[in-house]
Amino acid sequence: MREVLRTGSLLLDAAMGTALLARGLAGRAPAWNLSHASAVQEVHAAHVGAGAEVVLTNTFVGASPEEAAAAIRLARSSGATYVGGSLWAGVGDLETQIAQLADADSIWLEAATSARMALAAVESAVGATRLPVVITCAMPSAPLDELRAAGAAAAGYACSPWPADARGADVVKPAADGLSPEEWARKVPWARLRGGCCGTDERYLAALRATAR
Ligand SMILES: [Zn+2]
């Protein structure tokens, strides 16, 4: 997967957390990998149905070993071409969390809220796994070249705020921010790897897929 992350184009998935909240989630999302597995599976399946080639595991906030194993199984069962292990870049026990996701195809360090957090996460991840590492930042501007130099196979932006200038980003997966799927898809800057974050669902992916890649 490293090569496609470095040079290819892929449609990513849409939001998991907000999709589970809409289905009644209260508490930690990864607990649902065990207690409400069919709901998690349904969200992955809807994304793949809309064309997502990568799905990310429901482990963003950090998971127990059992929750992480279930997350990988659920993501694989979607039939997506690739499974990424998702972790917030600021999660406390990052190396343990990465080890639990060793059966994914890549590790996605998501929504870093500072350059320092992003760099620290990439450095510790590339030291902890042989899987390719992707980093996304929830900031208007991130040190993308520095993150790639630190070992990230792809670097870019996720969630909110949207990037001020997405040139040079490998990944862009913004939040819905109250936009309709069509409005959103028109606004999403071009990048090789594109998908959605909070508030987006399969309708947003379908709209994005319909725009030029
Ligand atoms: Zn988000």
Round to whole Å and give the CA distance between 128 and 30.
Answer: 22
For residue 126, the CA-to-ligand 1 centroid distance in Å is 23
Average pLDDT value for the chain: 97
CA of 128 to the centre of ligand 1 (A): 25
Give dist(CA 94, CA 98) in Å, integer: 6
CA distance 85 to 106: 6
The superfamily (CATH) of domain 2-210 is: Homocysteine-binding-like domain (3.20.20.330)
Contacts of 21 (CB under 8 A, 6+ apart): none
Structure tokens at 12: 């990513």
pLDDT in tens, 139-151: 999 999 999 999 9
Res 212 pLDDT > 70: no
pLDDT at 23 over 90: yes
Ligand 1 midpoint to CA 160 (Å): 6
Cα of 199 from ligand 1 centre, angstroms: 7
Cα of 70 vs centre of ligand 1, distance in Å, is 22
pLDDT at residue number 211: 84
Residue 154 is predicted with a pLDDT of 98
| 188 alpha carbon – ligand 1 mean position (Å) | 14
The rounded percent of the chain whose pLDDT value lies above 70 is 99
pLDDT for residue 72: 98
The alpha carbon of 77 and the centre of ligand 1 are apart by a number of angstroms equal to 23
Average pLDDT value for residue range 32-50 = 98
pLDDT at position 213, please?
A: 56
Q: Model confidence over 78-107: pLDDT tens digits? A: 999 999 999 999 999 999 999 999 999 999
- Distance between Cα 161 and ligand 1 center (Å): 9
Instruction: Name the band, by pLDDT with cuts 50, 70 and 90, for residue 64.
Output: very high
Q: From ligand 1's centre to the CA of 175, what distance in Å?
A: 5
How far is ligand 1, taken at its centre, from the CA of residue 139, in Å? 12
- Give distance in angstroms: CA of 39 to centre of ligand 1: 19
